Chains A and B, each alone.
Chain A
């Protein structure tokens, strides 16, 4: 909920809920989340899949906070958990910090080239990645899906399958008729934005976008969306042509 709206409503006769964040008595409106309440009071909780203009998802598990009292306390995602009367919230317990570090470590193993994730690693003291690097870029945070569905009313991309096979793609992995090439998905993607080379630069040339080949050039004579000046995308065209199949084979054999 936006700050301005909250201030307006606070002054009206709306029912206020009292909760305790890090020992501080906080007041929030019914229907708000712990994250809303914490942010209102200036408390910082890191997020990734949360975006003010989109519906709440709760998938990245970065915004965890510990609620309740020992021994019955548990961790919940503050961006989805609603405020409750008398709720006791702590944002930086050891359990929260250790678990958050593991989440960042998992994300790094999937998208090491994302500056946003690298920045999170630096901020929260994640100094090693003990998992095998998968370089999938996509951390399935769902921002692109929600952007496409809610802000652009496109619904061209979405989640498919489940578990470790989950992916985001267009129906049947082919060019979607609903896709209006707006580039909103690329704009909001944390793995796509501001790519970096990792801890050490090897050459003067920035190779940030090297892992993203413009697959649309396999089919068309020019780039298909306006994000070409920020970086190139690899998400909109998945039709298999001979050229792209050969490329995939070379990529797979590496």
Chain B
């Protein structure tokens, strides 16, 4: 079920209707809906008179844009070099096991989306997981399950 077209129009109208505002408009839509719905891209293409193909090219080029809806909680694991050297890949593997999804996917109950980022710039706290904008630093493999349970207390995690 895609959001209403009218909601995009409000966002689009906040900026001048020129091609050079394409990025800020897409960033605003992404920030509000947590993804870029298809009809939003079509609307932006019409409003700015930019070919739909160009809008889609841009929407798929950048990491922050997602063309599929994301879960309620987005878990972002930092895979910067400093975090990598401190064991971030093993922490990521644990998240994948516990949530039973791959990077970029969303759990079946639509609660979590697992993503990675290439550096948050908080290297002293590595390895880091960011959930809903909150930083959980010095992550350890055994902390993962507890952290997930914080957002999903009723269900037992898969790996137990």
Indicate whether A and B interact.
yes
Are B53 and A158 in touch, CB under 8 angstroms?
A: yes
Are A155 and B61 in touch, CB under 8 angstroms?
A: no
Are A162 and B61 in touch, CB under 8 angstroms?
A: yes
Are A156 and B56 in touch, CB under 8 angstroms?
A: no
Are A160 and B51 in touch, CB under 8 angstroms?
A: no
**Closest A residue, CB atoms, query B67:** A172
Asked if B60 CB lies within 8 Å of chain A CBs, one says: yes
Asked if B38 CB lies within 8 Å of chain A CBs, one says: yes
A209–B11 CA distance with the chains assembled, in angstroms:
48
Contact with B along A28-56 (1 / 0, CB 8 A): 00000000000000000000000000000
Q: B residues near A, CB below 8 A?
A: 38, 41, 51-57, 60-61, 67
Question: Which secondary structure characterizes the binding site on chain A?
Answer: loop
Are A158 and B61 in touch, CB under 8 angstroms?
A: no
**Closest A residue, CB atoms, query B45:** A171
**Contacts known (A171-B52, A178-B52); A158 close to B57, Cβ less than 8 A:** yes
* Number of residue pairs A-B, CB distance < 8 angstroms: 33
A176–B53 CA distance with the chains assembled, in angstroms:
9
In the complex, chain A residues whose CB is within 8 Å of the CB of B61:
160-162
Most buried by B among A155, A156, A158, A178: A158
In the complex, chain A residues whose CB is within 8 Å of the CB of B56:
158, 160, 171-172
Residue in contact with B54 in the complex, picked from A158, A161, A162, A176, CB distance below 8 Å? A158
Contact with B along A126-153 (1 / 0, CB 8 A): 0000000000000000000000010000
Contact with B along A148-183 (1 / 0, CB 8 A): 010000011111111000000011100010100000
**Closest B residue, CB atoms, query A170:** B53
Residue in contact with A160 in the complex, picked from B38, B41, B57, CB distance below 8 Å? B57
**Closest A residue, CB atoms, query B42:** A171
Most buried by B among A149, A171, A172, A176: A171
In the complex, chain A residues whose CB is within 8 Å of the CB of B41:
171
A64–B107 CA distance with the chains assembled, in angstroms:
47
Question: Which secondary structure characterizes the binding site on chain B?
Answer: helix
The size of the chain A interface, using a CB distance under 8 A, is 14
**Closest A residue, CB atoms, query B61:** A162
B117: min CB distance to chain A, Å? 16
**Closest A residue, CB atoms, query B52:** A171
Are A161 and B53 in touch, CB under 8 angstroms?
A: no
In the complex, chain B residues whose CB is within 8 Å of the CB of A162:
60-61
B141: min CB distance to chain A, Å? 29
B42: min CB distance to chain A, Å? 8
A32–B67 CA distance with the chains assembled, in angstroms:
41
A170–B61 CA distance with the chains assembled, in angstroms:
14
Are A157 and B53 in touch, CB under 8 angstroms?
A: yes
Are A178 and B53 in touch, CB under 8 angstroms?
A: yes
**Closest A residue, CB atoms, query B63:** A162
In the complex, chain A residues whose CB is within 8 Å of the CB of B60:
160-162
In the complex, chain B residues whose CB is within 8 Å of the CB of A176:
53
Which A residues between 169 and 207 are near B, CB-CB below 8 angstroms? 170-172, 176, 178
The 3 closest A-B CB pairs, nearest first, are A158-B53, A155-B51, A171-B56
A235–B95 CA distance with the chains assembled, in angstroms:
37
Are A159 and B57 in touch, CB under 8 angstroms?
A: yes
Most buried by A among B57, B60, B61, B67: B60
Residue in contact with A172 in the complex, picked from B38, B51, B57, CB distance below 8 Å? B38
In the complex, chain A residues whose CB is within 8 Å of the CB of B51:
155, 178
**Closest A residue, CB atoms, query B51:** A155
In the complex, chain B residues whose CB is within 8 Å of the CB of A157:
53
A148: min CB distance to chain B, Å? 9
